[in-house]
């Protein structure tokens, strides 16, 4: 390490020495990349991956079936299919009934072979016959979106209030600290539920509700950091040169307090994912047919006591892995950004 290294470069070098942090970051990038690709890579390309086929309900991971694509209808599962003359004859699944369709009824009447698709459901199907893998991918988009927007809202509110309280003090600080203590005293999930009920159920309401409950810790940390920095010589020099207090606050104090804020943001991202999953499980999050991991657990938690437990376990494991990944990254960032603990 040379003296020309920037603080960011030194922090990154320390971060790379944390195997759990690097592992968590790789998982976040992987899951985030899959979520970003979204509908472009899902086996079920329909809106919200909501193609239902009750004949395929609750099939186990790796289940494979022949499907016949028919115009204006859902794909028809079949044990076998045969093309004769101008018709397709199929042995329907699971009843073994014989059915026939004209080639002109298929989606590919110019090439009937394309109407026959051997489809594999790698994570099985849910109780409505929907592809679990497709809904898991789209559910990841919801989790990342809620985490990102909620963290941005919490930063906007928390940094602003915390900085103003710490820098100006007096009655402003007293009022903001009173507000922080009031919000802090209310259980997080209860406050989220109250805000959600006030705003109504829906996709965007979840962002706002979660974001408005996570700013308190940010505000407390920012206030403490600002209190310790505002007495430093460089801040006093800024004011003595005639610059405004806002210039001193936003130009010199805030840029020096981002290390703990970044660490808190990683933890808040994980918390937002958990809260969103809990809201979806309670039916207060994004509403069906929008797929969410919490909603998938809600739909299938009763299957845990039978041989279909994977329907609830798969989204549960996904939530745990993503939350742990953010916690690993947060812990690694805390150590990497701690100059006093650096070697």
Q: What is the CATH number of the domain that holds 290?
A: 1.10.3720.10
Same domain, 257 and 297: yes
Let me know if residue 334 belongs to a domain.
yes
Tokens of residue 114, six digits = 């394309």
Give the 3-state secondary structure of residue 184. helix
Let me know if residue 136 belongs to a domain.
yes
pLDDT tens for 237-252 read 766 666 666 777 777 7
pLDDT tens for 261-318 read 998 999 999 999 999 999 899 888 888 889 999 999 999 999 988 889 999 999 999 9
Mean pLDDT of 156-166: 92
Same domain, 135 and 73: no
Q: Residue 75 sits in which domain range?
A: 63-121
Let me know if residue 57 belongs to a domain.
no
Distance CA 257, CA 249 (A): 11
Let me know if residue 49 belongs to a domain.
no
Q: Work out the number of other CB atoms within 10 angstroms of the CB of residue 38.
A: 14
pLDDT at 209 > cutoff 90: no
Distance CA 243, CA 263 (A): 31
Mean pLDDT of 203-209: 83
116-121, strands of its sheet edge to edge: 98-102, 87-92, 76-84, 63-68, 116-121
Let me know if residue 233 belongs to a domain.
yes
> By the 8 A CB rule, do 178 and 165 touch?
no
Let me know if residue 21 belongs to a domain.
yes
pLDDT at 183 > cutoff 80: yes
Positive or negative, the Cα torsion across 192, 195, 200, 205? negative
pLDDT at 341 > cutoff 60: no
> By the 8 A CB rule, do 132 and 121 touch?
yes
Burial (CB < 10 A; 0-12, 13-18, 19+), residue 339, is exposed
* Alpha helical stretches, state H, the chain: 7-15, 19-37, 132-168, 170-185, 188-199, 203-211, 215-229, 233-240, 245-248, 258-281, 293-300, 310-337
Let me know if residue 54 belongs to a domain.
no
pLDDT at 63 > cutoff 90: yes
Domain count, the chain: 2
Distance CA 209, CA 196 (A): 6
């Amino acid at each position: 390490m040379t003296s020309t290294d920037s603080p960011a470069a030194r922090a990154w070098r320390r971060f790379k020495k944390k195997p759990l942090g690097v592992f968590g970051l790789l998982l976040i990038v992987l899951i985030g990349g899959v979520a970003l690709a979204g509908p472009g890579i899902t086996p079920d390309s329909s809106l919200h991956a909501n193609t239902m086929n009750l004949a395929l309900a609750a099939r186990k991971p790796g289940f494979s079936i022949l499907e016949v694509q028919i115009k204006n209808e859902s794909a028809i599962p079949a044990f076998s299919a045969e093309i004769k003359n101008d018709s397709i004859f199929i042995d329907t699944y699971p009843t073994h009934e014989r059915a026939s369709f004209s080639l002109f009824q298929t989606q590919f009447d110019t090439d009937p072979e394309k109407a026959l698709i051997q489809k594999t459901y790698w994570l099985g199907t849910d109780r409505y016959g929907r592809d679990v893998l497709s809904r898991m991918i789209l559910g990841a988009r919801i989790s990342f979106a809620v985490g990102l927007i909620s963290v941005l809202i919490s930063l906007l509110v928390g940094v602003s209030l915390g900085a103003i309280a710490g820098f100006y003090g007096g009655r402003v600080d007293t009022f903001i600290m009173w507000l922080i203590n009031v919000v802090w005293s209310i259980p997080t999930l209860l406050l989220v539920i109250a805000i959600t009920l006030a705003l109504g159920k829906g996709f965007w309401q979840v962002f706002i509700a979660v974001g408005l409950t996570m700013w308190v810790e940010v505000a407390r940390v920012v206030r403490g950091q600002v209190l310790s920095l505002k007495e430093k010589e460089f801040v006093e020099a800024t004011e003595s040169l005639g610059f405004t207090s806002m210039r001193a606050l936003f130009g010199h104090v805030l840029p020096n307090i981002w290390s703990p804020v970044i660490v808190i943001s990683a933890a808040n991202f994980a918390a937002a994912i958990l809260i969103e999953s809990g809201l979806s499980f309670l039916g207060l999050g994004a509403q069906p047919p929008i797929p969410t991991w919490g909603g998938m657990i809600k739909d299938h938690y009763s299957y845990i006591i039978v041989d279909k437990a994977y329907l609830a376990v798969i989204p549960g494991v996904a939530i745990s892995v993503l939350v742990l990944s953010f916690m690993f990254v947060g812990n690694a960032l805390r150590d990497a950004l701690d100059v006093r603990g650096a070697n």
